[in-house]
Structure 1
Amino acid sequence: MDCGYFDAGRCTSCALMGRPYEAQLAEKQRHAEELLAPFGVGEWLAPVASGERDYRNKAKMVVGGTVDAPTIGILDADGHGVDLQACGICSPGHRAAFPVLARFISLARLTPYDVGARRGELKHLIVTESPDGELMVRFVLRSTEPVARIRKHLPALLAELPNAKVVTANILPEHKAVLEGAEELVLTEQQTLPMRLNDVTMHLRPQSFFQTNTAIASALYAEARDWIRGIAPDRAWDLYSGVGGFALHLATGGGAYGGPMDASGPAVTGIETSVEAVASAELSRSDAALHRLRFEAGDATEFALAAPADAVPELVVVNPPRRGIGARLAAWLEASDGVSHVLYSSCNAASLAKDLAAMPALRPVRARVFDMFPQTTHFEVMVLLERR
């Protein structure tokens, strides 16, 4: 894939831009195998390739420029806006929406925030596209002052961008390098964005994390469900469950256990620190009438350590942030004989290797790279661990 922005030095976020995709994927596979070599992975499956471009379902764009000529993209070293509306890794739906949103910024007089001067209102645009082509559009503002103007002109935006189903104002009053604030005002009747992956529908709320690459996320969740078919656990935990991608796929079973959807998977408990993500997951669970699935807001490590011995499941799924699961949870998994299998999905193979070193009783029997982030050095790797 070639990118004019990258070639001109205007945006260098995609560090591997211009390298042949086959070489990118081979290097990620080599890197993963090298890091996990000390643990004797039983079987490496072929890496799951992504499309080279158009793969991002979420665009997190800084708004710069002026109210009459806004830029949607990033800021340069001097704090000036760099327009990236034609970014090739964003979805076509994003690229179609950006010019409409730029016109709306001018119409509603949403003054872009000037980082150096600490003036202005509109800091970021966060746009998520569902597999059905529907959009969630979030305006990240310094204060609530512009909200009345957004409400006033919202019918015009929805008329020009009818696939924008959820529109919100996020309030970020602090001057600091974060993407969004704690307060969210939903301005449309619809409050969640349905994300339909495989045979599962997840309801995404504004501040909930979702995997960046829809096609690869679908493959990841389907593979996870496929891997546990031979295990057939009666109970499972999904720690760091987010909006419930793994938990929902495991709980439905997809017919893996031969019964109807609600009875075909294990009883699953999902644990996640984000209250918004848990609310999303609970809505998805309720919508699917999955009575053997529940979600709870809490810390994954503390939940595991506090669990009574008779509540420990046969299968534990972990999908932690880049830092990994950490020493305490790794030690608990190592010592918990009742846990016969761990399914570990990692966005950082280095922290995965560190965690595996702390769990020698759990042997990696299968592993696969999923290229969630083409044009970058990042990737997802999933490993199935079995107690020796």
Structure 2
Amino acid sequence: MAAPVARDQELELHVDSLAFGGNGVARLNGFVVFVRRGLPGDTVRARVTKVKRSHAEAIAVEVVEPSVKRVEAPCAHYPACGGCRFQDLAYDAQLEAKQEQVREALRRIGGIAEPPVEPIVPAESQFFYRNKLEYSFTATPAGPALGFHRAGRWDEVLEIEKCWLTTDLGNAIRGAVRDWAREERLDAYDQAEHTGYLRHLVVREGRNTGQVLGQLVTAAGERFDRDQFVEVLRRFPEVRSIHWAVNETPAEVTNLPTTLLWGEEAIEEQLCGLRFRVRPNAFLQTNTAMAERLYEIAGEFAALTGGETVYDLYCGIGTIGLSLASRALTVWGVEVSEESVACALENADLNGISNAAFFAGETADALAELHERAGDPDVIVVDPPRAGLSNKAVRRLGRLEAPRIVYVSCNPTTLAGNVKELAASWGYTLERVRPVDMFPHTPHVESVSLLT
């Protein structure tokens, strides 16, 4: 049966809800249309951009009748900037949508008729919450500028004057680097033409320590004065670490080997009463306050009594495992990033924790060797990337038959698929799921689940 709509056709649609990923969900005589920039309760005129047999995609070109849930976005760059999607949606409606997305994924993909989803934990701060931002350089008539990609565009960067996700300090550092680039007459990299020099600026803040790490990413060659760049950043007393990385590939990446230009190799952050050293490429949740809430929930679900062997899989710099160590017999962490493992080992020493060990390796491949070393796990904590657990990882996890699995997820669809497989093939039951809003005004939602 042919789809009832055609590409470039304009339709008047009523948006019922938000799909995971952030598009509005509308229906035309039962046929689903995903509407970019459509919010729940809106009536919009939308232009169809893609048609498939099961659904269509469209973009709202006019809000015919706005939803009562619409609010005024505070950021001058919204909605052109791709950094936020929902500044114009009331925060309680964002929370409602995210909680429902977790529930719906578990129902539709996980096959659970009544998922045990608990009330979502709201963010402590709706704005200025990020501890890390990656800015792209762009060319303007006034010279190089820094900002984010325009919404939906890979080849256009929008200059940002004030970002509502970072701090005043973060905004000031970005402005100072922009002024330096102009004074030095350096040119911004053009992603479409693959020409130019300045590519990215990464700013990481220890929100509980006040320490800052800055990283400049350029194309090949050293075409700037190191001392001048260091002097610009050292005007901010919070800056403790300054790095430079070179990207010779077309890909827009910042996770690269770095050269230390000045200061310490890493900065420190404090989480859950522990100290953590954070290097340029080490993974750390980008909302410090909510990371602490996330780890507290993981600890609650783990329900440790002091005698347990805990596996911490996809352990990063050891944040979750080390926060559990005082309540466990032993903690064993596995992480693919060698730099993160080095940080985890360093962080264990920094906090005087002697019952935690960390190893580098692909989780699915490392589990057999880990089991030989550590013995049977009582609790397994997993915090996989957005793609979730691979089929091999699920199989090897299931074979361990741990009494409790605590699953920290950043993607409800892959969580649901993993939960379904763990239930069908390995006899696990999903006992609890608590969504956590780490990233207000974005489509992303975290959750912590307990399987037994």
- What is the TM-score when the length of structure 1 is the normalising length? 0.88
How many Å separate the matches in 1 of 2:103 and 2:307?
A: 28
RMSD (CA atoms): 2.3
Answer 1 or 2: higher relative contact order, Cα 8 Å, separation at least 6: 1
Do the aligned residues in 1 keep the contact of 2:143 with 2:187 (CA within 8 Å)?
Answer: no
> Structure 1 residues 138 and 227, CA, compared in 2 at 3 Å: closer, same or farther?
same
Do the aligned residues in 2 keep the contact of 1:126 with 1:138 (CA within 8 Å)?
Answer: yes
State whether structure 2 residue 292 is matched by structure 1 residue 222: no
Task: Name structure 2 gaps, 5 residues minimum.
Answer: 1-71
State whether structure 2 residue 219 is matched by structure 1 residue 142: yes
Aligned length: 370
Q: Deviations over 1:139-178 (max 9, x none)?
A: 011124135x1234413430x21211111001111122x3
> Structure 1 residues 98 and 67, CA, compared in 2 at 3 Å: closer, same or farther?
farther
How many Å separate the matches in 2 of 1:295 and 1:307?
A: 10
Do the aligned residues in 2 keep the contact of 1:41 with 1:364 (CA within 8 Å)?
Answer: no
Q: Which amino acid aligns with 2:296?
A: A
* 2:429 alignment partner, SS class: strand
Aligned to 1:188: 262
- What is the TM-score when the length of structure 2 is the normalising length? 0.76
Q: Which amino acid aligns with 1:382?
A: V
> Structure 1 residues 82 and 183, CA, compared in 2 at 3 Å: closer, same or farther?
same
Q: Deviations over 1:298-356 (max 9, x none)?
A: 0111111344467221111100011111212212233333x111110000011011001
Runs of 4+ aligned structure 1 residues displaced above 6 Å come to none
Aligned to 1:101: 177
> What does 1:220-369 correspond to in 2, within 5 Å?
220-230=294-304, 232-253=306-327, 265-308=328-371, 311-337=375-401, 339-360=402-423, 361-369=427-435
Do the aligned residues in 1 keep the contact of 2:103 with 2:115 (CA within 8 Å)?
Answer: no
Q: Which amino acid aligns with 2:86?
A: L
Q: Judging by fraction of residues, say which structure has more helix.
A: 1
How many Å separate the matches in 2 of 1:134 and 1:308?
A: 38
Q: Which amino acid aligns with 1:55?
A: Y
State whether structure 2 residue 115 is matched by structure 1 residue 49: no
Q: How big is the shift at 1:12?
A: 3.7
Do the aligned residues in 1 keep the contact of 2:325 with 2:355 (CA within 8 Å)?
Answer: yes
Aligned to 1:381: 447
Q: How big is the shift at 1:93?
A: 2.5
State whether structure 2 residue 85 is matched by structure 1 residue 15: yes
Q: Which amino acid aligns with 2:175?
A: P
Q: Deviations over 1:180-229 (max 9, x none)?
A: 25321011231111111121111111111111211110101122123323
Task: Name structure 1 gaps, 5 residues minimum.
Answer: 254-264
> Structure 1 residues 326 and 155, CA, compared in 2 at 3 Å: closer, same or farther?
same
Q: Judging by fraction of residues, say which structure has more strand.
A: 2
